[in-house]
Amino acid sequence: MNSKLNAFFESSASEEIKEKILLIDGHNLVHSSLYVAISQHPDDNNTGFPIWKNIICESVFSKIKKYQPNKVILAFDTKNSWRKEIYPEYKANRKVDPKSLINFEKFYPVLDTFIDTFKKSFSTIKVLKISRCESDDIIAILTKEFAKVEATEIQIVSADKDFMQLQKFRNVSQWDSIRDKVVKSLNPKKDLEIKLLTGDSGDNIFPLFKGCGPVTAEKLLEGKAVKVNKEPKTFEQVLNEEELKNKYLLNKTLISFEEIPQDIQDVILSQYNNYEVKEFNGADVWNFFIDNDCKRLAEAINSYVPLLKNLK
């Protein structure tokens, strides 16, 4: 009897020990912090973007300090997304506004150098930028892998609502660092289905038919008939039309994380599992803060060193 009780309490205690994993959407953070920097200090364009570097670094390290994770993954986009291979118009609507205050020709070389230097300086933070992948893909595939262990707490930092899909896992939560609030989905499956029907204008993904907004999509999911090209149709009838069905399947391929191609999944897991983690070097961290004019972080370095040393 005593042995059974001991086994019970030992198993209960082990379940309480959570591994905390922090997944940061680097692409989202880069651009949100850039707009803040340039809107407040337009001259940042001409001085190597030091204000932007401060903002993004302070954002990353404030999250590490807040969540005190065991692992930190910082994910970035590459230009050649697999989605463009399937759908060349993907994000084609995202053209640089000639009136924009940001000089992107100057910024992107600075960004590439910044990512490389950050990766070398913070050897215990896994920085992933993988060909044909977006940060969404990296975070989604790693989250699905980490979520297999229930005693793992996974925190995603991004304003991107696509990540609400991942809240189907009970141990996943999301923080929008732009609006400084929790992103919560009460029904991730339903929210995903609504997006498949309504599309994503930000990514140049179109709704199934004209006038298919969230209200119409919800009616379809409830089994109600809605007007499609002036004719009332149910969801089942919509998907019986070949053109509409193909649009739905395309949207599903582009939006649903369950549709990420297997070869993309394999390369993400391979690069993560084979990531070379070098021994923490405090001098590298100090030099990075000094070289990038991160004075406040340099002054507070003693509060970050233990957190960075404990990452694995």
CB-CB neighbours of 180 under 10 Å: 7
Run of H or E residues at 150: none
Q: Is 108 helix (H, G, I), strand (E, B) or coil?
A: helix
Q: 18-186+260-309: which CATH architecture?
A: 3-Layer(aba) Sandwich (3.40)
pLDDT at 8 over 50: no
Is 11's pLDDT higher than 50? no
Give the pLDDT confidence score for residue 3 in this predicted structure.
55
Domains 18-186+260-309 and 188-255 are alike in CATH topology: no
| pLDDT one-digit tens code per residue, 211-254 | 999 999 999 999 999 999 889 999 999 999 999 999 999 999 99
**pLDDT higher than threshold 50 for residue 148:** yes
Determine the distance from the C-alpha atom of residue 43 to the mean position of all C-alpha atoms in its chain, rounded to a whole number: 29
pLDDT of residue 14: 45
Phi, psi of 23 (to 5 degrees): -110, 115
**Residue ranges covered by each domain of the chain:** 18-186+260-309, 188-255
With a cut of 90, say whether residue 77 has pLDDT above it: yes
Query: pLDDT tens digits, residue range 117-136?
Result: 999 999 999 999 999 999 99
Q: What is the pLDDT of residue 10?
A: 47
What pLDDT, in 10s, does the model give residues 178-211? 899 999 999 999 999 999 999 999 999 999 999 9
Residue 205 gets the label, from left (phi > 0), alpha (psi -120 to 50) or beta, of beta
Position 88 scores a pLDDT of 96
Q: Which CATH class is domain 188-255?
A: mainly alpha
* Mean pLDDT computed over every residue of the chain: 92
pTM for this prediction? 0.91
